[in-house]
Amino acid sequence: MPALRPGPGEDRLCGGCEWLHLRYELQLREKGKALAEAFRRIGRMEPGSYPMLPVLPSPAPLRYRSRARFHLGRSGDHLVSTAAARTSRCGSGSATCSSRGWITCGRRWAGARPGPPPPHRDRARVVRARRAGAALLRGLDAGEATRRRADELVATLPLLAGIVVEGEGDGRRGRPATLHGDPVLHHERVPGDPARGLARSRPDVFQQANRGANARLVDAALRMLAPDGEEVLELFCGAGNFTGPLAVRAASVSAVEGQGPALEIARGDLSGRNVRFFAGDALALAGALARERRRFGCVLLDPPRDG
């Protein structure tokens, strides 16, 4: 395992990374301890009462990030990244974070905003794949002026494939976000290995920022699950991060997801194969399938952070 540290010009103290002061092998060890403590404190599971595998190392511990989150500065005329809270450099950010194109995008957006400065909580999230990017603009007035500016940015910035605009409170009120250009991007499921297939993403849909580490996570989960020839129930399938690899090996996959955009992306990638999607609450649908006496050889769960 490499004893990786930030190289010349890369800060050891980063606003977006709490671990860069440690050698990489120590980072992995401490993250394992943090996980065990969460099991003990929240799950009441004492260390040693369950098997715990070592933390998988990332193939690219630095310069791996394919997603980044920014916010507009208090004056409303500049873009600030998470890492910029304490430093000017980012040890984990790839070209997605540092590309001048994103700074140009942010400045053009901020410069086009009339009226008083925006709330400090306004955020932009950017995703990059295959030299194209997409952005999520959240917490804005999603009126005609905002939509017009979004269309203008997509038309004038070659880097930008599309924008998702999510108005203040849209998620809670159930109003759909507005799409400008084509914010759905394609990326390799395993970076550098196009033969393993492509997946789709959108900036308002969750996806792991470290795609190389995510590929190792998927491989490890399927190795333990051994779904070959089985009927598989997948709960919280999201945009199909595990669903696609499962479908290659399983006899069938019943995939459950409640979030609309994520389910749309998964269906667009995988419908028509041996995958059937169910929209709704994962636990309620699992109970309904049990009452129908459906039987599965194995189950894979990938719940969100809140459980």
Q: Where are the domains of the chain?
A: 67-187, 226-301
**What percentage of the chain carries pLDDT values higher than 90?**
44
What single letter denotes the amino acid at residue 305?
R
Virtual CA dihedral for 94, 306, 139, 136, nearest 10 degrees? 30
Q: Provide the mean pLDDT of the chain.
A: 79
CB-based contacts of 287: which residues, under 8 Å, 6+ apart? none
The pairing of beta strand 298-301 with beta strand 231-235: parallel
pLDDT band (50, 70, 90) for residue 273: confident
3-state secondary structure of 124: strand
Name the residue among 133, 110, 135, 137 with its Cα closest to residue 123: 137
Name the residue among 158, 167, 177, 164 with its Cα closest to residue 105: 158
Give residue 66's pLDDT.
84
3 vs 29, which has greater pLDDT?
Answer: 29
37 vs 172, which has greater pLDDT?
Answer: 37
Helix segments in the chain, DSSP class H: 24-43, 95-98, 100-112, 144-156, 170-173, 211-225, 243-249, 260-270, 282-291
> Which CATH code fits 226-301?
3.40.50.150
Give residue 297's pLDDT.
96
Give residue 175's pLDDT.
66
pTM score of the predicted model: 0.80
- pLDDT for 287 beyond 80: yes
DSSP annotation of 21: T
